[in-house]
Copies of this chain bind each other. A is one copy, B any other.
Amino acid sequence: MDSPVWCAPISRAVVFGGTHGNEMAGVCLAKHWMKNPSEIQRQTFTTECCIANPLAVERCVRYIDQDLNRCFSMEILRSPAAPSDSYELKRARDIFHKYGSGDSAVDFALDLHNTTANMGVTYLLCRNNDLFSVHLVNYLQSKSGDLPLPFHCSLTDVPEKDLVYLHRIAKRSLCLEIGPQPHGVIRADILSAMREIVNHVLDFIDLFNQGKEFPGFEMDNYTFFSRVDFPRDSKGEVEAVIHSELQDKDFAPLKPGDPIFKTLDGKDILYEGEKILYPMFINEAAYYEKKVAFVLTEKVRCTFPALKLMH
């Protein structure tokens, strides 16, 4: 096992809801905590709460002009404002200015999402070197045993140029996806799971700040492999739907020859890859326009060193 990694304490954290305005568990909790912040306060650090895309929340849509959660490249964030900038570009710069840059940058960002896919509780991390957040996920998995949802960790080392997600504004961050939940709907079970997990996140930070050491460990991760689009006709119309044998099977092994789509003429389309992969975001409503029917990942066993507080 490698030698421990030392991390500075967290003094300022932020929880984002409504990065997508119709993902309602995060929207509902963020609104509640902005009015009633006591639940998200801990002894050793401050936690703020922010509705990332307030206009999209007001209209209960994913976004106004473009997907806010694809606007956080450093190129965009550092470019000068222009009159033609979309609403989301302006919001991205405002959020970066308030939470992501300079002396007052937050030490940790948590971004709350829902998906129509049957992904249970999925923790998305985009930097392999964010050992703090990997330990956080390991802690969450140990605490999530009572939840009625399966949980998974998707850890991918996204190259700097492809880092376009809101939670990248902090060096330590986590994006939480919980589903299945239709967009525009608040389900009590999903809301309650998300609320419990956010509280565990804040407890972990508090424990870490108090000097608790977290030993090294092994964990399965699902790393990005590829995106698969729906079969489409020459006009771009979907010609086949997610096969009933694939629907709701997020993170189950997909084997060469397994059916993945069914055409409206009743033909099965099979997975022609060469090895077993693990699909996620199967039939996510918002991904039809992104030309993504599901995302394929590889399951990788990883070893992580211990985490200690740097005083």
Contact B60 A187 (CB under 8 A): no
Instruction: Choose one: B188, B189, B192, B262; the contact of A188 (CB below 8 Å).
Output: B262
Give min CB distance, A260 to chain B, whole Å.
Answer: 11
Within 8 A of B (CB), among A236-272: 237-238, 241-244, 247, 262, 264
Give min CB distance, A116 to chain B, whole Å.
Answer: 4
Contact A31 B237 (CB under 8 A): yes
Give min CB distance, A247 to chain B, whole Å.
Answer: 6
With an 8 A cutoff between CB atoms, is A7 at the interface?
A: no
Alpha-carbon distance between A184 and B114 when the two chains are bound, in angstroms: 14
Contact B283 A242 (CB under 8 A): no
A188 contacts which chain B residues (CB < 8 A)?
241-244, 247, 262
Number of interface residues of A (CB under 8 A): 34
- The 8 A CB mask of A54-91 against B (1 = contact, 0 = none) is 00000011000000000000000000000000000000
Instruction: Choose one: B243, B264, B283; the contact of A185 (CB below 8 Å).
Output: B283
Give min CB distance, A294 to chain B, whole Å.
Answer: 12
Within 8 A of B (CB), among A87-127: 116
Q: Indicate the member of A31, A242, A285, A289 with the most B CB atoms within 10 Å.
A: A285
Contact B244 A189 (CB under 8 A): yes
| Chain A interface mostly | loop
A180 contacts which chain B residues (CB < 8 A)?
182
Contact A286 B184 (CB under 8 A): yes
A116 contacts which chain B residues (CB < 8 A)?
182, 184-185
Contact B247 A285 (CB under 8 A): no
Give min CB distance, A154 to chain B, whole Å.
Answer: 21
Give min CB distance, A272 to chain B, whole Å.
Answer: 20
Contact A32 B264 (CB under 8 A): yes
With an 8 A cutoff between CB atoms, is A50 at the interface?
A: no
Interface of A toward B, CB cutoff 8 Å: 28, 31-32, 36, 60-61, 116, 180-189, 191-192, 237-238, 241-244, 247, 262, 264, 283-286, 288-289
24 contacts between A and B (CB under 8 A): A28-B241, A32-B264, A116-B184, A181-B182, A182-B182, A182-B183, A183-B183, A183-B184, A183-B285, A184-B286, A184-B288, A185-B284, A185-B285, A185-B288, A186-B241, A186-B242, A187-B247, A187-B283, A188-B241, A188-B242, A188-B243, A188-B244, A188-B247, A191-B241
